[in-house]
Amino acid sequence: MTQLSQNDDPAVLRAVFPGDSIMAQRCRAFDWSATPLGPVETWSNSLRTTVGIVLTSRHPMFLWWGPELTQIYNDAYQPSLGTGGRATYALGARGRDFWTDIWDAIGPQIEQVMTTGEATWHENQYLPIERNGRMEDVWWTYSYSPVRDDDGRIAATVVTCHETTQIVQAQRALETANAELAAERAQLDSIITQAPAFVAVLRGPEHRFERANAEYSRLIGGRPTIGLPLAVAVPEIVDQGFVGLLDEVLATGKPFIGREIPALLNRQPGVEPEQRFVDFVYQALTDADGNRSGVFVHGVDVTDAVNARREIERLLAESERARSEAEAAHQEAETARRAAETANRAKGEFLAVMSHELRTPLNAIGGYAELLEMGVHGPVTPEQRSALERIQRSQRALLSIINEVLNFSRLETGTVTYDIVDVPVAEAVSAAEALVAPQLRAKGLGFEWTGGSATVRADRDKLQQILLNLLSNAVKFTEPHEGAPGNILIDFTDADPRSSLVSIRICDTGIGIAPDKLSAVFEPFVQVDQRLAREHSGTGLGLAISRDLARGMGGDLTVESVLGQGSMFTVTLPRA
């Protein structure tokens, strides 16, 4: 810091630079004689008065005095210079020399004030400056005002300013957040509108419709709903208990979940009400102030699935009754057998229908569980997230079972088609092994593929499905034994190139199959050991489907096993 000039009188300095602020003390200790302003005792009354105003102001102020625009500023302005040391040489510096980073912007503004005497105003002006050792984006709201000397001419420009960087950045962040929120709302609106399930939002004690998607409109026959109370829009359900359920959910906040609930709906004018079955949820809507203002309605029309299941149950009951009556006489048995075959074909058709119909609501359950996990409907607690994960696991397990039933139904009804091409055995084995590799590692099982170059005539996807099912079963029923890890081996017999068949063998060191159970392993819905059925989930269709697929491609699937030592399944297919 420069030293006090010997010509400066301390009493004069305290009068010109009043107070004990940091900048007042610096100004009193500064050698002003080394600046264009000269010794303080020579300063004009106007300069002294203006400096006193600047230093004692609580608002950020900055003064440029004289042709060289010598700088003086107060404590409130000092933070704007940052902590990188720039403030140490700002006092007494020439404006053009000091503000090189923004002089192109502020120089003309100062010149305008100094030449015209007209003040300027700049709101949220972007002026990036060098501070804290780097260039920073900074916004300011400031006013440039002229200051006249004792003779009345314009001698200086005084700046009253306020840094608005945080305000501007906060406004921009708010605008971005609002835009993102609007986009999320639009996305949610699109999801609700296009959802395969019916969705509605009811508000107030009258349960007035605020929103209803196309699926809801389709459920009630396309009647207008928006803005109408439920009792006016769908009057036929008032006496069916739904309004009472809504009242209770709105009053208590406790959600209601309904499964296969019957509802009589007037879906067409002049036609008797139609009975539909619906799965649905009533969930209370809570405002920011904690008040419950409405009910969110979400559900699926499961009428077709319910009717299909009931028809299947009826057919199964008829089949069982026919079987019982067939025991009375041989002729009656033959008649019952033919009826049972007819019923089984119908069962397969209805199983296919049921599988298709059940997959739609299951996919909807999975989709909306994912929406809840994503937090679309609000924050999710760890306990809720755990419950949602269990829902997802159950949904996937049930969907897998339904797909197996559907595949078996297609085989039974003869609707499966085959795309027969040349398939290298090594390629099919490699693809299937990659899919069970995580299970092999998890159980610590060994895996060996002897390799080879045989090629078979097969449907590529169906061959992979067979191999994957056989490998999955081998992993499932193979455990370490007497300290030794289990092992799975795949090889194929190709000793006689003249043979028209190639045999692929999957061998394991698992629990094996009892001799009296070998003939049953390929029967549908059969698991040879019910204790294992409880331990390892499944429908008992995998081996039945695999054998039918092998036979459909001109081959076969057989098994050899020793109880307690392991099993060998052999897939035989035509040579390419």
AA identity, residue 157: T
Count of helices and strands (H, E) across the chain: 16, 19
Amino acid in position 533: A
Q: Answer yes or no: do 404 and 427 share one domain.
A: no
In a domain, 335, yes or no: yes
pLDDT tens per residue, range 276-331? 999 999 999 999 888 999 999 999 999 999 999 999 999 998 888 888 887 775 67
**Cβ count within 10 A of residue 278:** 20
**Phi, psi angles (nearest 5°) of residue 554:** 85, 20
Sign of the CA dihedral with 397 first, then 527, 334, and 547 last: positive
Range 418-430 average pLDDT? 90
pLDDT, residue 417, reads 87
Return the amino acid letter for 188: L
The answer on 438 and 368 residing in a single domain is: no
Q: 3-state class of 430 per DSSP?
A: helix
Same-domain pairing of 141 and 249: no
Q: C-alpha distances in angstroms, 514 versus 110, 296, 354, 561? A: 101, 56, 35, 8
**Which has more confidence, 375 or 309?**
309
Residue 336 has pLDDT above 80, yes or no: no
Mean pLDDT of 70-77: 94
CATH number at residue 69: 3.30.450.20
Least confidently predicted of 228-232, 254-258, 446-450: 446-450
pLDDT of residue 338: 76
Query: What is the band of 38 on the pLDDT scale with cuts at 50, 70, 90?
Result: very high
My answer on whether 248 and 321 are in the same domain is no
Check whether 402 has a pLDDT greater than 70: no
More confident residue, 344 or 165: 165
Q: What is the DSSP letter of 133?
A: T
Domain end residue (candidates: 266, 301, 336): 301
Residue 435's pLDDT band (cuts 50, 70, 90): confident
The reported pLDDT for the residue numbered 355 is: 57
pLDDT band at residue 6 under the 50/70/90 scheme: very low
Q: What is the mean pLDDT of residues 182-196?
A: 71
Among 301, 336, 356, residue at a domain's last position: 301
Question: Is residue 185 a part of any domain in this protein?
Answer: no
The domain in which residue 131 lies consists of: 10-163
pLDDT, residue 525, reads: 60
Q: How confident is the model at residue 522 (pLDDT cuts 50, 70, 90)?
A: confident
Q: Measured between alpha carbons, how far is residue 524 from residues 26, 349, 541 in Å?
A: 96, 16, 5
Is residue 179 one of the residues assigned to a domain? Answer: no
Q: How confident is the model at residue 434 (pLDDT cuts 50, 70, 90)?
A: confident
Tell me if 189 is assigned to some domain: no
Residue 515 pLDDT > 90, yes or no? Answer: no
174 confidence band (pLDDT: 50, 70, 90): confident
For residues 514-518, average pLDDT: 84
Q: Does residue 348 register a pLDDT over 60?
A: no
pLDDT at 406 over 80: no
Do 20 and 91 lie in one domain? The reply is yes
Q: What pTM does this model have?
A: 0.38
* 290 lies in the same domain as 335: no
Mark out the alpha helices in 117-164 (DSSP H runs).
none
Percent over 70 (pLDDT), the chain: 83
What pLDDT, on the 0 to 100 scale, is given for residue 2? 40
- pLDDT exceeds 90 at position 128: no
pLDDT of residue 413: 60
Residue 223 in any domain: the answer is yes
CATH of the domain at 492: 3.30.565.10
Is residue 253, in this structure, part of any structural domain at all?
yes
Please determine, for residue 195, whether its predicted confidence score (pLDDT) is greater than 90.
no
The per-residue pLDDT for 166 is 86
Co-location of 446 and 561 in the same domain: yes
Q: Are 279 and 356 in a shared domain?
A: no
Q: Are 298 and 199 in contact (CB under 8 A)?
A: yes
Q: What is the largest CA-CA distance in the chain?
A: 138
Q: What pLDDT was estimated at residue 329? A: 56
Tell me: do 394 and 354 sit in the same domain: yes
* Number of domains observed in the structure of the chain: 4
Q: Tell me whether residue 181 is in a domain.
A: no
Do β-strands 274-286 and 256-265 pair in parallel, antiparallel, or remain unpaired? antiparallel
Sign, Cα dihedral of 125, 127, 128, 130: negative
- Could you tell me the pLDDT band of residue 533, with boundaries at 50, 70 and 90? very low
25 and 137 in a single domain? The answer is yes
Task: Indicate if the pLDDT at residue 96 is higher than 70.
Answer: yes
Q: Are 574 and 456 contacting, i.e. CB atoms less than 8 angstroms apart?
A: yes
Which among 379, 413, 447 is the end of a domain? 413
pLDDT surpassing 60 at residue 401: no
Q: What pLDDT is attached to residue 480?
A: 72
Please check whether residues 398 and 428 belong to one and the same domain: no
Q: Is the pLDDT of residue 220 over 70?
A: yes
pLDDT band at 3 (very low <50, low <70, confident <90, very high): very low
184 within domain boundaries: no
Kindly state whether residues 227 and 130 are assigned to the same domain. Answer: no
Write out pLDDT tens, residues 39-58.
999 999 999 999 999 999 99
Q: What is the mean pLDDT of residues 143-170?
A: 92
Q: Which comes out higher in pLDDT, residue 403 or 28?
A: 28
Question: In the structure, what pLDDT confidence band is assigned to residue 366 with cuts at 50, 70 and 90?
Answer: low
Query: What value does the mean pLDDT of the chain take?
Result: 83
DSSP state of 150: T
